[in-house]
Amino acid sequence: MVVKEGYQQTEVGVIPSEWKVKKIREVCQLINGRGFKPFEWKTDGLPIIRIQNLNGSQDYNYYQGIYDKKLEVDNGQLLFAWSGSRGTSFGPHIWNGSKGLLNYHTWKIVINENEISKPFFTYALKKLTKFIEDNAHGASALVHTQKWEMEGFEFPSPSNQIEQTAIATALSDADSLLTGLEKLIAKKRNIKQGTMQELLQPKEGWEVKKLGEVATIVRGASPRPIEDTKWFDKQSPVGWVRISDVTKSKKVLLETTQKLSDLGVKNSRLVENGNLIMSICATVGRPILTTFDVCIHDGFVFFKNPQVDRQYLYYFLTFIEDNWAKSGQTGSQMNLNTTLINNTEIPFPKSPEEQTIIATILSDMDAELTVLEQKLEKYKKIKLGMMQELLTGKTRLV
């Protein structure tokens, strides 16, 4: 491999000639948390910072006893969860809560700022985390690494802090853009929720009927045994809807992972394009509109021949989705029975035109949210590209 002028081949890849390869132990100290025992937990005092708190949980245990000052964590402190779920809890976190005490399974990272810029190292560590995960111990989802391993991981770094600062500033600006967009999306979602509350509450002159009176509610069916390959055909135009297909979709179902053969269709429940289905098992009460012919198993119901606007019905079901879990039957999985669904009341305007107007308002809000969410995903990809370019020196800012 020919390395272009001004660059060098190193154990971490091709980097600028004046950059250095550093080990984590050379630029920081890793301080492990303490395993606070249940009998030490109190209802007030200093909060104990556990893995779930790094992901936003406000459920704290507290400590009132004597402790090593090294366990103190202040707002803005860089932490690293060395045991956790891949892609979520495992890895670096900036603590944004009040002063607390560090629990076990997490390191406090004390950076030697004479050696490296703290903001730069934070981004370098975020980029390095995927490599650390890939070399960690444990199952595919839950992984952990050891201190001596962590200290030996290497990363490229500009030799001077001017370039380090320039890189960190560019990435921080990108983060600010992402944060602003995330806040806007959250605000729009709250506005939509308030609008649904206002538009879907029964008004004077509205009708209130049971769902079973405004549509025929038909439960799905599964070919048995479901593992038999004769039920499936990758070339079939008829989708086989699974719960996972619905949970990863939004308002409309655009694709399914599996397709049913003609024989599979005959032994299941066919739902033609443009209809409304709802999950009644595991993720209960999730409605979705079909955009192609599908078959549903007995973990779904189909709202056949609705006497109200189908989009209006979709938004009403979305509005009450969280309520289903309170009424469902529990077992190995939460599930709803068709009697409960049939007897659930739906308020609606008598005028089909008014139903359509309400559905259109909410649909327009959904469309706006979709545009913003797509923009957010685009910016996230751009940010990842920036990290790859800037943190390897492929693109230089100084």
**pLDDT for the residue numbered 83:** 94
**pLDDT for the residue numbered 105:** 94
With tokens 């039920």, the residue in question is 231
Per residue in 172-194, pLDDT (tens digit) is: 999 999 999 999 999 999 999 99
Question: What is the rounded CA–CA span in Å between residue 218 and residue 300?
Answer: 9
Extract the tokens encoding 29.
């100290």
**pLDDT for the residue numbered 283:** 86
10-residue mean pLDDT series, the chain (398 residues):
90 96 97 95 95 90 95 97 91 95 97 96 97 90 94 97 97 98 98 97 96 96 92 95 92 95 96 96 92 96 97 97 76 75 96 97 97 97 97 94
Determine contact, residues 23/152, Cβ cutoff 8 Å. Answer: yes
Extract the tokens encoding 206.
């509205």
Question: What is the rounded CA–CA span in Å between residue 16 and residue 395?
Answer: 10
- Grouping H, G, I as helix, E, B as strand and the rest as coil, residue 16 is strand
Looking at domain 20-157, does it have CATH number 3.90.220.20? yes
Determine contact, residues 61/42, Cβ cutoff 8 Å. Answer: yes
Question: What is the rounded CA–CA span in Å between residue 109 and residue 82?
Answer: 12
**C-alpha distance from residue 370 to each of 5, 66, 251, 375, 393 (Å):** 45, 51, 10, 8, 35
- Grouping H, G, I as helix, E, B as strand and the rest as coil, residue 337 is coil
**pLDDT for the residue numbered 191:** 98
Question: What is the rounded CA–CA span in Å between residue 369 and residue 371?
Answer: 5
**pLDDT for the residue numbered 57:** 84
Look at the alpha carbons of 286, 292, 298, 304 in this order and tell me if their dihedral is positive or negative: positive
Range(s) within the chain of domains with CATH label 3.90.220.20: 20-157, 207-348
One-letter identity of residue 369: L
In CATH, what number does 207-348 get? 3.90.220.20
Q: How many C-beta atoms lie closer than 10 Å to residue 132's C-beta?
A: 20
H or E segment at 321?
helix 321-327
